[in-house]
Amino acid sequence: MGLEYSDRECSDKEPPNTEVFLVECLAWGLLRAYGIEEPPVPVREMVKHPLPIFEHLTLLELSLGLYDATYRSLLDGSRLIAVDLTKPRPVQRASMAREMYVAFCRSSRAAELRWPCEQPYVRSDLFARCLLMPAAWVRRAYAEAIPLEHLAACFGVPARMVARRLSEVGHHRPRFGLGVSLTEALFSLKEPWRGRFLDLVANLATKQTWGQRLPTQDEVAVWLGANPGLYQDMRYMLDAWQRPGNVVVHHATSLVQALVA
């Protein structure tokens, strides 16, 4: 099934909070796995060189006519994302990112995780925004007072996508000392969630599998205070997890850790 990106952007149907959290984590984990740390996200190269979880996925570039991009599985077991080269480049990028989510939902890894894939297109536009405009990057850009049109050019996405993403992540400017308060919030969690979050912070801060012990409060405060991107990532993940109904965080953190390992 293929879709026009612009039509999907106009949809008012939103996925439940738990699924929003999972989609954010999947996008964030993919960026970590590919080592992408700044915009624009090279989504075309990600499709051309897919991770194993995408299973035999290839990119086909042509003139589709009907759709911006579409996902297809073939009888021989191969899978492809076709993108229309006649569309504006920002629309191509957004559409490829959207179809990456559909491809993931059709993978065996998604089945193993019991991922909510009954209606992948309900969440595919959200995934595209999360992948191409990670919350931490958007907040940093907003803190620098970059105009919306320049943000769209920086991230390589349609302007309407920027406006939607800004409304999702909020306009919170970083303030001094927030690394300490976030550390206290993480250590106040009950087990097993405290251990899972702290282990994830340690893995990302040290860029290796921590595993040996839980980090101390001082270590976490130093890591978060020294790395604005890590702070923003963990702040957003914690906020998303604390929303009502988010009861499957272990699936998300396990997936992220598997992707970045």
- Looking at residue 10, its pLDDT comes to 37
> What whole-number distance in Å separates Cα of residue 30 and Cα of residue 168?
20
Residue 201 near residue 215 (C-beta atoms within 8 A): yes
- Looking at residue 154, its pLDDT comes to 93
- Looking at residue 12, its pLDDT comes to 42
- Looking at residue 244, its pLDDT comes to 53
The token pair at 1 is 């099934």
- Looking at residue 40, its pLDDT comes to 96
- Looking at residue 16, its pLDDT comes to 52
- Looking at residue 167, its pLDDT comes to 77
> What whole-number distance in Å separates Cα of residue 137 and Cα of residue 140?
5
Residue 68 near residue 4 (C-beta atoms within 8 A): yes
Residue 90 CB-half CA count within 13 A: 18
| Every domain of the chain and the residues it spans | 2-169, 178-260
**What's CA 161's distance to the chain center, in Å?**
15
Q: Which residues of the chain have pLDDT under 50?
A: 1-13, 172-176, 245, 247-248, 260
Reported as a single tens digit per residue, the pLDDT across 168-184 is 876 544 443 567 888 88
The token pair at 118 is 């009954």
Reported as a single tens digit per residue, the pLDDT across 58-68 is 999 988 777 89
- Looking at residue 2, its pLDDT comes to 47
- Looking at residue 170, its pLDDT comes to 65
- Looking at residue 48, its pLDDT comes to 94
| Torsional sign, CA 91, 149, 26, 250 | negative
Helix (H, G, I), strand (E, B) or coil at 191: coil
Q: Which residue has the tokens 């193993």?
A: 112
